[in-house]
Amino acid sequence: MNGRLREPPAALKQEEIMDVLLELQEVSKRYGDKIAVDGVSFSAPAGQLFGLLGPNGAGKTSIIRMITTITRPDSGKLFFEGRSLGGRHQSVIGYLPEERGLYKKMYVGEHLIYLGRLKGMDKADARQKAGEWLERFGLSERWGQRVEELSKGLQQQVQFIATVLHRPRLIMLDEPFSGLDPVNAGKLKEEIRGLAQAGAAVILSTHRMEQVEAICQRLVLINQGRTVLEGSLEAVRGRFQQNRYRLQYAAPWAPAADGPYPLLPIGEGEVAVDLPAGHTPNDFLAWAMAAGATVSSFRQDAPSLNDIFIRLVKQP
Amino acid sequence: MTNMMKQLRLIVEREYVTRVRRASFIAATFLTPLAFGVFIAIIHFIFRYESDDALRIAVVDPDHIFGGAIADEKNVYFKLVGEPADSLRSRAVREGDRFPFDAILAAPRAGQVLRKDYQVDYFSDRKLTLDAEPILLERLQGALRRHKIRQLNLKEEELTALDTRLVIRAHPMQPSEDDSSPFAGKIAAAIGVVMGLVMYTTVFIYGMMVMRGVMEEKTNRIVEVMVSSVRPFPLMMGKIIGIGAVGLTQVAVWAVLIPGILLAVNLIFGISPRPDTLPIETVDWNPADAELMIEQIAYDLYQMRWRLILPLFVLYFLGGYFMYAALFAAVGSAMSDDLGEGQSLTIPITIPVVLASYIMLAAIQAPHSTLAVWASIFPLFSPIVMPARLPFDPAWWQVALSLFLLGLTAVALVWLSGRIYRTGILLYGKKVNLMDLLRWMFR
């Protein structure tokens, strides 16, 4: 299990220089006859929010368990700061599983201290940090309550605190917003951003695209155990940029159906157009104005992550 | 390694502290002996309850068998009456409630001294109660005995001398100082049964507790957080050790409280173990015998090789507990949320435990039989069977071999259970059978 220092992989060199914290290289895992993960590679940089996306059953949980050192890959390697990832990294990894769970009979403060100490904190440090975090979430008065006395939402916040209490450098969050009301979800989003800004690599596993779109800088999309897509949010969007534009116009305008551009009506006073090869937006605008349109806005239609996701996952 | 030990200590501490402070633990630990005491007190109270219903008996004794007076008993009053039984009976019928007696006892006639069997007439409209009958019998037998002694011109001592009493004293072939008393065998058996049963119950109660704990962690999903901080093996061992410590605490409290409360019950209610609460046996009970017996029992207890037996008992406890608790942990890890569904997985564990307890009871009867010897060496049975044999001085090689095999098996089973555990705790929504468990062991 000797770690080795590695050169950053070629793919990353092409993009911006990143401080890679976690790297997966051709990682595979099978359970019995079923191949759960099949040669997955990606890198999560420090100081950024990284989205791990995929439909249900894509192999996300298997990947998460390998990242959190709960299981080991059958083949391939995981690296933490260029060194082979192993049990000794448990103290610098924080993990919030999708299925939350705490010891119901323990007191909140006691529980946080216990989990912090298991991660290698000393008692006084764990106590102080737990106090600080509870205060941040406005939960200070819950210190002496039993976990089972808290509402589900509060338990979830306590569990988030337990995940980040020991100042982990790699934070693995599996569907962190599920079950939270919008106010608490927003609060949590801010905290997660803060942790990334403070230098941690935060991996967010979810099937909710808009969450990734809102807060992640990079992402990987997994389907049927394989990497379908990896890169920065902009790069991904750029790659799936279509030649589709939206034109809004002041009514009334009735363009002829047999024109050179196939128009898709979207709503009152708006049409979308897929520009055929060889045509520029200028060509289209010139044609539209010539056809009598009073243009009020014209913009490129960026594909949402959701569209990309659905398009890629649906492919055979 | 030190980090793992630190984590193990933390886990043990949590398992121990969170269990010991639970209301249910405190209740079970402190109320069980109390309930035990209350139960004993109630039982004694019921058996010692004396009827406040007075029974007045007119005794017709024309031949003066009773020698002119009969001692009363509480609530049973005797009065010698000169009137013949028949006339008393007709008076009773005639006077009804005004008749001063509840019953008429016609004493047997004198003569025929060598007769053994007598029939005595007792007239009453009230049933002869279990309270009163032994008193009547005792008075009549005593009176007849004294009457016969007088008639036969015997002396009381001569008659007593005819009653021969025997005890068989067992000695080792080689004369030695620690000569055992006639009770030695019975005491050894009693100690053996107690030790065997303590092993049986602790293995079951605390093994099951380990299983439930593992299941809770799994269904709670906390285990996923735990194994991202700790390896599964120290997690399992921490639970086993922590619950073992809970068990030792509980047993220690009971070991102090139960005798204490029994003593208190004795003092408060004046209940003594002397059989004088059972009137039927009073006839040939000699208090001097009781003192001698207690002395001998104490001596025999003292003579037991405790310095050997107790440490060995602790070793067997540790071996047996770890072996079975680890198996229970493995089964708990394989169970799904549905307790009933997984119950069948516990059968392979409970069968050897139950079998061992039956063999243990047989081993008490014949501690050196082939069955007892080999069962006390076979590691799945030895933690329950060997402690029961220990008071009977088994051959040293048997103890050594048995301990060696137990140690080896315990280590092997803990290791194999750890392998089942680490797979089982992360597996959800799949029904697991025994074959799966075997596969996980060696994967």
Query: What CATH number labels A14-238?
Result: 3.40.50.300
Instruction: Please name which of B339, B418, B289 lies closest in space to residue B8, comparing C-alpha atoms.
Output: B418
Beta bridge partners of A244: A274
Query: How much of chain A exceeds pLDDT 90, in percent?
Result: 44
Q: Buried b / exposed e across B65-83, counting CB within 10 Å, b at 16+?
A: bbeeebeebeebebeebee
Distance (Å) of CA B383 to CA A229, B203, B236, B250, B372: 59, 9, 22, 20, 12
Q: Does A119 touch chain B (CB under 8 A)?
A: yes
Residue A303 gets which letter from DSSP? P
Please tell me which residue of chain A has the smallest CA distance to B19: A105
The C-alpha of A35 sits at a distance from chain B's nearest C-alpha, in angstroms, of 16
Q: Please report, as a single letter, which amino acid is at residue B149.
A: I
Q: Which of A95, A103, A117 sits opposite B228 (nearest CB)?
A: A95
Token pair in block for residue A287: 């044609």
Which of 3.90.1150.10, 3.40.190.10, 3.40.50.300, 3.40.50.1220 is the CATH number of B55-161? 3.40.190.10
CB contact under 8 A, B220 and A97: no
First-last CA distance in chain A: 38
Residue A107 gets which letter from DSSP? B
CB contact under 8 A, B221 and A100: yes
| Residues B135 and B73 sit within 8 Å (Cβ to Cβ) | yes
The C-alpha of A110 sits at a distance from chain B's nearest C-alpha, in angstroms, of 10
Q: Which residues from chain A sit within 8 angstroms of residue B14, using beta carbons? A: 103, 106, 114
CB contact under 8 A, A120 and B3: yes
Token pair in block for residue B235: 């997690």
SS3 A52: strand
Instruction: Please name which of A136, A139, A135 lies closest in space to residue A149, comparing C-alpha atoms.
Output: A139
Instruction: Please name which of A5, A69, A57, A4 lies closest in space to residue A31, comparing C-alpha atoms.
Output: A57
For testing the chain A interface, which of B1, B7, B215, B222 should be mutated: the one with the most A CBs within 10 Å? Answer: B222
Q: Which residues from chain A sit within 8 angstroms of residue B230, using beta carbons? A: 90, 118
Q: Which residues from chain B sit within 8 angstroms of residue A70, using beta carbons? A: 224, 227-228, 426
Q: Please report, as a single letter, which amino acid is at residue B401.
A: L
In this prediction the pTM is: 0.74
CB contact under 8 A, A65 and B426: yes
pLDDT band for A231, please (50, 70, 90 cuts). Answer: confident
ipTM metric:
0.78
Please tell me which residue of chain A has the smallest CA distance to B218: A101
The two beta strands, A218-223 and B55-60, are unpaired
Over chain B, what HEC string results? CHHHHHHHHHHHHHHHHHHHCCHHHHHHHHHHHHHHHHHHHHHHHHHHCCCCCCEEEEEECCCCCCCCCCCCECCEEEEEECCCHHHHHHHHHHHHHHCCCCEEEECCCCCCCCCCCCCCEEEECCCCCCCHHHHHHHHHHHHHHHHHHHHHCCCHHHHHHHCCCCCCCCCCCCCCCCCCCCCHHHHHHHHHHHHHHHHHHHHHHHHHHHHHHHHHHHHHCHHHHHCCCCCHHHHHHHHHHHHHHHHHHHHHHHHHHHHHHHHHHHHHHCCCCCHHHCHHHHHHCCHHHHHHHHHHHHHHHHHCCHHHHHHHHHHHHHHHHHHHHHHHHHHHHHCCCCHHHHHHHHHHHHHHHHHHHHHHHHHHHCCCCHHHHHHCCCCCCHHHHHHHHHHHCCCHHHHHHHHHHHHHHHHHHHHHHHHHHHHHCCCCCCCCCHHHHHHHHCC
| Residues B307 and B77 sit within 8 Å (Cβ to Cβ) | no
- For residue A299, the surrounding DSSP H or E stretch is strand A294-300
What is the gyration radius of the CA atoms in chain B, in angstroms?
Answer: 32
Beta bridge partners of A263: A273
Instruction: Please name which of A140, A141, A123, A144 lies closest in space to residue A131, comparing C-alpha atoms.
Output: A140
Span A111-138, average pLDDT:
94
Q: Which residues in chain A are classed under CATH 3.40.50.300?
A: 14-238
CB contact under 8 A, A101 and B10: no
CB contact under 8 A, A118 and B7: yes
Token pair in block for residue B296: 């001998």
Please tell me which residue of chain A has the smallest CA distance to B440: A32
Span A82-94, average pLDDT:
90
Per-residue tens of pLDDT for chain B, all 443 residues: 578 899 999 999 999 999 999 998 999 888 888 888 888 888 877 776 666 678 889 998 888 888 878 888 777 888 888 888 888 888 888 888 888 888 899 888 877 777 888 888 898 888 887 778 888 888 888 888 888 888 888 887 887 788 787 777 777 776 655 555 567 777 888 888 888 888 888 888 899 999 999 998 988 889 989 999 999 999 999 999 999 999 889 888 888 887 788 778 777 766 554 444 444 444 444 555 666 777 777 777 777 777 888 889 889 989 999 999 999 999 999 887 666 666 778 888 889 999 999 999 898 888 889 999 999 999 999 999 998 888 888 889 999 999 999 999 999 999 999 999 998 888 877 777 888 888 888 77
pLDDT given for residue B278 in this prediction: 42
Distance (Å) of CA B438 to CA A196, B324, B326, B346, B405: 44, 16, 15, 14, 22
Q: Which residues in chain B are classed under CATH 3.40.190.10?
A: 55-161
Query: Which residues contact residue B318 at a Cβ distance below 8 angstroms, ignoring those fewer than 6 apart?
Result: none
The C-alpha of B220 sits at a distance from chain A's nearest C-alpha, in angstroms, of 5
Q: How many CB atoms lie within 10 A of CB A45?
A: 21
Q: Buried b / exposed e across A81-111, counting CB within 10 Å, b at 16+?
A: beeebeeebbbbbbbbbbebbbbeebbbbbb
Q: Which of B14, B222, B228 sits opposite A68 (nearest CB)?
A: B228
SS3 A35: strand
Q: Which residues from chain B sit within 8 angstroms of residue A159, using beta carbons? A: 225
Q: Does A162 touch chain B (CB under 8 A)?
A: yes
| Residues A159 and A111 sit within 8 Å (Cβ to Cβ) | no
Q: Is the dihedral of CA A12, A14, A16, A17 positive or negative?
A: positive
Residue A98 gets which letter from DSSP? S
| Residues A29 and A71 sit within 8 Å (Cβ to Cβ) | yes
Alpha-carbon distance of A185 to A193, in angstroms, equals: 12
Is the pLDDT at A224 greater than 60, yes or no? yes
Alpha-carbon distance of A143 to A155, in angstroms, equals: 12
> How many residues are there in chain B?
443
pLDDT band for A9, please (50, 70, 90 cuts). Answer: very low
CB contact under 8 A, B229 and A119: yes
Mean pLDDT, rounded, of chain A: 85
